[in-house]
Amino acid sequence: MNNPIRQARAILKRYFGYDAFWPLQEEIIGHVLNKKDALVVMPTGGGKSLCYQIPALLFQGLTIVVSPLISLMKDQVDALTECGVPAARIDSSLSPEERDNAVEQVRKGRLKLLYISPERLVMESFSKFLQKQELSFIAIDEAHCISMWGHDFRPEYRQLRSLRKVFPNVTIGAYTATATEQVRHDIAEQLSLKDPAMLVGSFDRPNLIYKVQARNRIIKQVSEVIDRHRDESGIVYCIRRKDVEEMAAALREKGLHVAPYHAGMADEARKKSHDDFVTEEVDTIVATIAFGMGIDKSNVRYVIHAGMPKSLEHYQQESGRAGRDGLEAECCLFYSGGDYGTWKSLMRDMDPQAKEVALAKLSRMYNYCTEGVCRRKAILGYFGQAPEKSDCGGCDICLGEVDSIDDALVVSQKILSCVLRLGQRFGGAYTALVLTGSRDQRILENGHDNLTTYGLLREYDSRAVHDWIEQLTGQGFLEKTGDFNVLAVTAEGRRILKGEVTPRLLRPAQKPERKAKVAKVAADSWQGVDKGLFDALRKARATLAHKKGVPAFIIFGDAALRDMARRRPSTLQRFLEVKGVGQTKADQYGRTMVERIRAYCIENAIEMDLTVVD
């Protein structure tokens, strides 16, 4: 292939409307074009899909993309078709005629990409059909699903181990957004990849703002985040189906446009919630983690966890569904010590070996919530990476939204002493009530109002004391034991009692010192953008999407609209300079968008065809 990278850049511009690749994309594409197996780890929103879509357009034959969810396949195929890429999918949601049509397109060599499930790929009859075609590349998306050590192991993915035998000369690429080193090596072994390149991108998402708070008055906490993002798309994750229903109902009562989503809903109702969110009939989806892997929506401006996820892998992937377009987005996590017990209970029937792995991941997630270090540093450290700066400028810790209390040693000693005085037989909530001098009937009946530690922290709210108990647990000074999460003081905790070590205890800052940094993330992406024109273009996009019957973000992403409202092109030629506008989209929608831009600029007497320095 003559100068493949130059050809890849031409494809990038022609079909996808970008002039340059993002970090690591060019290296990955070059490796695949040289017909070498690869294992690629890039965070959600890092441009992973282009790393197999562009080689597919340069290879002679057909590329197979293995994907676990129908909704994800549909969104990706719709997006590719809008860009002028010959792509199709075969899945159970299609009619027999539609499936036959896709098969016929494969047979006639008219497709460059075919999306299918892992189960279909290993079906003997379908596998034999593909062996008769000119197959150039197999891309396995969500490849972590093949590893038992991964955060979302799926037994059906194990069947993909047969691919190397069935297609011995076809290049295989494994792609995932989240995988530790152990998971990466397991994927490569399971797929029998030939001397694969391990290409791991940075897990840092600089456009995401991470915030973590102890959960109290959760409806109010969630509502406050949504209020900051009125008329924008967002996801609220809950642990249990019951929590989803209650949260969705409470938010609806507040007049918010939300829809529930969980596996217990009827198929039709669940599909409607999904479709309403994707097409922006509702702003917010309230869901269990059953929702999300199949979402390719680029303009999610916030992700809220109303309960603690079960691993940092899950959190990194779920929070990563915000800001896939590279624009600013907020990720808020509201946790409680009870979440640890809930997940532990849900894991009780797991295979012993898998359960041990899952509990270790759960403990690490709990530590993330309670240890009080830079959120970005903690996430990157888990995946074996380090932040570029000691102050990330993009989390509640580094933005000064939480303070360390001055008397952390004394407060901690009072808490640990109370746990010991209670005989290490009670949980965190009860201990906090004793420390704050509660007249709760249980405390009086147990005689715990006579303890020397009773009321030692009465100047504080019981919720604040309970949060400090959780922080001490996360830092390893306390531990929870038994089915009822009874508190016990650890060996490290006894060092606090001797004054040998001082923990860090956090509370919300009374006056957040550096909130300007939060605004700066948004300010950078809005630089030079006429917001009135952006809103007008959103309406024009919605009209086009409705006529076409596809989600609005598939027509143009928010980043492209902002660039249009920044450049304000007056001709189709200038319209092609907008980031995210390829030739096919310019041909289809350019005239409509340029006319809307021209009308707005004339009406508001503002200049067109501005020069933008990228």
For residue range 85-98, what is the model confidence (pLDDT) as tens digits? 999 999 988 999 99
Please write the tens of the pLDDT for every residue from 171-189: 999 999 877 788 899 999 9
Residue 282 CB contacts under 8 Å (≥ 6 apart), including other chains: 257, 258, 259, 273, 276
- The band of 278, judged by pLDDT with boundaries at 50, 70 and 90, is confident
Instruction: Kindly list the strands in the beta sheet with 300-305, ordered across the sheet, starting from the edge strand earlier in the chain.
Output: 208-214, 329-335, 300-305, 233-237, 284-287, 258-261
Q: What is the mean pLDDT of residues 403-420?
A: 94
What's phi and psi for 166, nearest 5 deg? -70, -40
Residue 523 — pLDDT band, cuts 50, 70, 90?
low
Query: What single-letter DSSP state applies at residue 527?
Result: T
Percent of the chain with pLDDT strictly greater than 70: 95
Residue 446 has pLDDT above 60, yes or no: yes
Q: Give residue 307's pLDDT band: very low, low, confident or very high (50, 70, 90).
A: very high
* pLDDT for residue 515 is more than 70: no
* DSSP three-state, residue 489: strand
What residues contact residue 16 under an 8 Å CB cut-off, 6+ apart? 50, 83, 580, 582
- For 4-200, CATH number? 3.40.50.300
- Average pLDDT of the chain? 90
User: What percent of the chain is modeled with pLDDT above 90?
Assistant: 65
Q: How many Å from the N-terminal Cα to the C-terminal Cα in the chain?
A: 30
Give the dihedral sign, CA 206/208/212/213: positive
Identify the H or E element spanning 197.
Answer: strand 197-200
> Residue 520 above 70 pLDDT?
no
Would you say the C-alpha torsion 205, 209, 214, 219 has a positive or negative sign?
negative
Quick: pLDDT tens for 138-164: 999 989 888 877 656 777 788 898 999
- In this predicted structure, the answer to whether residue 516 has a pLDDT above a threshold of 50 is no
CA distance linking residue 203 with residue 216, whole number of Å: 30
Band (pLDDT 50/70/90 cuts) for residue 292 is: low
- The string of pLDDT tens digits covering residues 416-441 is 999 999 999 999 999 999 999 999 99
- The segment(s) of the chain belonging to CATH 1.10.150.80 are 527-604
pLDDT above 90: residue 412 = yes
pLDDT higher than threshold 50 for residue 519: no
User: Is domain 404-508 annotated with CATH 3.40.50.1100?
Assistant: no
pTM listed for this prediction: 0.81
What pLDDT is attached to residue 272?
92
Q: What is the mean pLDDT of residues 219-247?
A: 95
399 CB-near residues (< 8 Å, 6+ apart): 209, 393, 512, 514, 515, 517, 518
Short-list 225, 518, 228, CA closest to 392? 518
State the pLDDT at residue 465.
95
Return the minimum-mean-pLDDT range out of 157-171, 262-276, 292-306, 572-586: 292-306
Round to whole Å and give the CA distance between 614 and 612: 6
Q: Residue 202 in contact with residue 178, Cβ under 8 Å?
A: no
What the block records as the tokens of 137 is: 């590349």
pLDDT of residue 484: 80
**How many DSSP H helices and E strands does the chain contain?**
27, 17
Q: According to CATH, where is 1.10.10.10 located in the chain?
A: 404-508
Residue 525: φ, ψ to 5°: -75, -20
pLDDT at 450 over 70: yes
| Topology of the domain covering 527-604 | DNA polymerase; domain 1 (1.10.150)
pLDDT single digits (tens) 316-364: 889 989 998 889 999 999 998 889 888 988 888 888 888 888 888 998 9
The confidence score (pLDDT) of residue 393 equals: 85
The pLDDT of 44-57, averaged and rounded, is 90
Q: Which range, of 21-30, 111-120, 173-182, 410-419, averages the lowest pLDDT?
A: 173-182
What's the pLDDT score for residue 514? 46
45 or 541, which is more confident?
541
Q: Kindly indicate the confidence band of residue 460, based on its pLDDT and cuts at 50, 70 and 90.
A: very high
Rounded distance, CA 162 to CA 118, Å? 11
**What is the pLDDT, as a whole number, of residue 10?**
94
Sign (positive/negative) of CA torsion 97, 99, 103, 106? positive
Within 8 A by CB and 6+ apart from 419, the residues are 426, 431, 478, 487, 488, 489
| Residue 244: predicted pLDDT | 96
Q: How far apart are CA 103 and CA 111, in angstroms?
A: 10
d(CA 560, CA 578): 7
Which of 195, 196, 141, 130 lies closest to 167, judged by CA? 130
Closest CA to 63 of 163, 169, 172, 157: 172
Buried b (16+ CB within 10 A) or exposed e, 428-437: bbbbbbbbbe
Name which of 73-82, 387-396, 448-457 the model is least confident about. Answer: 387-396
Domain with CATH 3.40.50.300 in the chain: 4-200, 208-401
Give the contacts of 42 (CB within 8 A, at least 6 positions apart). Answer: 24, 48, 51, 175, 177, 200, 201
Report the top-level CATH class of 208-401. alpha beta
* Two structure tokens written together for 612: 């933008």
If DSSP states are collapsed to H, E and C, what string results for 208-272?
EEEEEEECCCHHHHHHHHHHCCCCCEEEEECCCHHHHHHHHHHHHHCCCCEEEECCCCCHHHHHH
Residues 502-513: pLDDT tens digits?
Answer: 998 988 776 544
Q: Hey, what amino acid is at 233? A: S
The pLDDT score that the predictor gives to residue 379 is 93
Closest CA to 380 of 370, 371, 392: 392
Residue 591's pLDDT is 96
Q: Is the pLDDT of residue 165 over 80?
A: yes
Counting every residue written for the chain, the total comes to 614
